[in-house]
Structure 1
Amino acid sequence: MDIAFAIFADGIIYGAWLFLVAIGLTLVFGVMKILNVAHGALYAIGAYAAATLVNSSFFGQIEGMAVLIVMLAGAVIAALLLGPFLERVLLRLFYERDEIVLLLVTFGLSLILEDLIKLIWGVYSHYVPGPYALFGDVEIGPLFYVGYDFFIVGLAVVVGLGTYLVLNRTNVGKVVQSVIHDDEISRAMGINVARVYLGAFTFGVFLATLAGAFTAPMIAITPTIGVNAIILSFAVVVIGGLGSIQGAAIGALVVGLSRASAINLWPEAELFVIYAVMSLVLLVRPEGLFGQIQQRKI
């Protein structure tokens, strides 16, 4: 029973973190049909921005829960600086091109952003350990967990539910849904599709930087942390279905529980299990668990 509970708890915690990392990737693809390979680099920038503010002389004296607001501010600042600039200056030039071209553009952008990180913050590790101790330890039977991990679970629930409600229960969401289904008809109806794309991409960048900012206390922040994040995000969105918020949530839980099972029962297969599950899903349902089958134009 202890092992079963450990697998469940570890899987939920890791799955929540994965969902927080992957939701921005699936949102941007769902609205703009762009597989944003630079998502991992944006996640890394969010982590660096949060660490910079928390460790700065101005904010360094802030203690308690207020430090979480500082971390959130780092994510917001990074998203507002990068999101509109990248969409208007770079991505907008390639909207009429083939999807492969956009994929290559975002891949090149990820390399540029990684080098930008090295120029600004250097190649050495950065740390922001203070917030990790904010929630103390949680004892559940014979098992002990860091309280911050459960905060990440709560944050993932809030972000996921909030995004879903905005897309499905608000007027803004209805406009975005219309653009998702047919951008040409939306333009004919007077919807400013360019503005929708700008807002969607900026919000997707914010979700990436938010995940990085609140992951920062849990890891050593290095320029390459985005590589692992984007690889795992691809696994999550492929399993759940590209463009689906619900699919990203289910995919994150599947990956989280699979990884936790492997770590507790067969540690050598930790990475193998993730990609084995992804391959199995693709064999049975190539569009993912919640992906929509789309017609091809010939």
Structure 2
Amino acid sequence: MDLIFTILLDGLIYASWLFIVALGLTLVFGVLKILNFAHGGLYALGAYGAAIAVPFFAGLGMPEWFSLLAMFIAAAAVAILIAPLIERGLLRYFYGRDEVLILLITYAVFLILEDVTKMIFGVNPYYVFEPRNLLGNVEMGSLFYVGYDLALIGLAIVCGLGVWFGLNRTRIGKITLAVIKEPEVSQAMGVNIARIYLLAFGVGVFLAALGGAFTSPLISVQPGNSVSVIVVSFAVVIIGGLGSIPGAAIGALIVGIARAFAVYELPEAEIFIIYLVMVAVLIFRPEGLFTPIKARKI
């Protein structure tokens, strides 16, 4: 029983930050119909931003708990500075174009962001240990877990509920849903489509940066983090279904538990078990678990 509990809890912890990143990816696709390969680079910027912000505010004499707020500030700064630059400066010229072209454009942005982070932050790793020490250890049965790791599960739940509430229970959210379903009709009725696109992309960037910022205490922040994250995030949204928030949650859970199971029972399969699960889902449901099947136009 201890092993099963450990696998489930470790899977939840891994799935929590992965869901936050995948949530931003699936939101951008749902609204803008763009599969944003640059999402990994934005995740990395959030991680680097947190690695700089936490010691900066600590040097100003701020209390230790302020390091958590510093990570939020870093993620928000990435969204405010980078989202308009990418969306207004580049992506808006390619809306409605071929999906392969847009994927190549976002891949080019990803490569640019990767080189920019190396130019600004160098190639040496950064370590952010202060936030992970704040919440101490929590006893769970016969095991002890870092409180910060468990808090990530709560953060993921808050992000998921926040996006769902924003889309379904607010005026701007309902307008966004209308734009998703009928952009031409929405524009004809006076909706500022450009503003909705920028807002949705900004939220997606914020979620990517937030995932990076709050993952930074768990890893060494260094070049290459973005590559692994974007690949696994794509696996999550493909399993759950592109554009589906519940799909992103279920996909992250499946990936997290599959990885945790491999770590404890099949260490040699840890690298590829995520992609094995993805292939298995695609064989039986190519559109993903939560994407409704659409009638094909002839």
TM-score band by shorter chain is over 0.9
List, as ranges, runs of 4+ consecutive aligned residues in structure 1 with deviation greater than 4 Å: 57-60, 295-298
Offset from partner CA, 1:24-78 (integer Å, 9 cap, x none): 0010001111000000000000011111111226755323322111111011111
| Counterparts in 2 of 1:22 and 1:59: CA distance versus 1, 3 Å | farther
Report whether the alignment pairs 1:135 with 2:135.
Answer: yes
Aligned to 1:79: 79
Kindly state the Cα deviation for residue 293 of structure 1 after the two structures are TM-superposed. 2.7
Question: Corresponding residue for 2:203?
Answer: 203
Q: Secondary structure at the match of 2:35?
A: coil
Q: Which amino acid aligns with 1:221?
A: V
Q: Deviation of residue 147 (structure 1)?
A: 0.8
User: Is the Cα–Cα contact under 8 Å of residues 57 and 70 in structure 2 kept in the other structure?
Assistant: no
- The answer to whether structure 1 residue 292 and structure 2 residue 282 are counterparts is no
Distance (whole Å) between structure 2 residues aligned to residue 71 and residue 63 of structure 1: 14
Pairwise CA distance, 1:270: 1.2
**d(CA) in 1 for partners of 2:73 and 2:106?**
25
Q: Percent identity?
A: 56
Aligned equivalents of 1:293 and 1:111: distance in 2?
34
Q: Is the 8 A contact 1:59 1:70 kept in 2?
A: no
Q: Could you say if the C-alpha distance between residues 288 and 62 of structure 1 is closer, same or farther in structure 2, counting changes exceeding 3 Å?
A: same
Q: Deviations over 1:67-117 (max 9, x none)?
A: 111111011111100001111011111113211111100000000011110
Q: Does 1:115 align with 2:135?
A: no
**Is the CA contact (8 Å cut-off) linking 1:128 and 1:217 kept in structure 2?**
yes
SS at match of 1:271: coil
Equivalent runs, 1:30-49 vs 2, <5 Å: 30-49=30-49
Match of 2:157 in 1: 157
Deviates more, 1:121-130 or 1:63-72: 63-72
Give CA deviations for 1:113-134 in whole Å, capped at 9, x if unaligned. Answer: 1111011111111111111111
In the alignment of these two chains, the number of paired residues is 298
Letter in 2 for 1:33: K
Output the CA distance in 1 between the equivalents of 2:242 and 2:41: 20
User: Residues of 2 paired with 1:252 and 1:95: CA distance?
Assistant: 28
The TM-score normalised by the length of structure 2 is 0.97
Q: Deviations over 1:239-265 (max 9, x none)?
A: 000001110000000111111111111
Superposed CA deviations along residues 217-248 of structure 1, whole A, max 9, x for unmatched, are 11100121011110110010000000011100
- Structure-2 change in CA distance of 1:57 and 1:146 (3 Å): closer
Distance 1:123 1:267 in 2: 29
SS at match of 2:144: strand
8 A Cα contact 1:80 1:202, kept in partner: yes
In the alignment, structure 1 residue 246 sits paired with structure 2 residue 246: yes
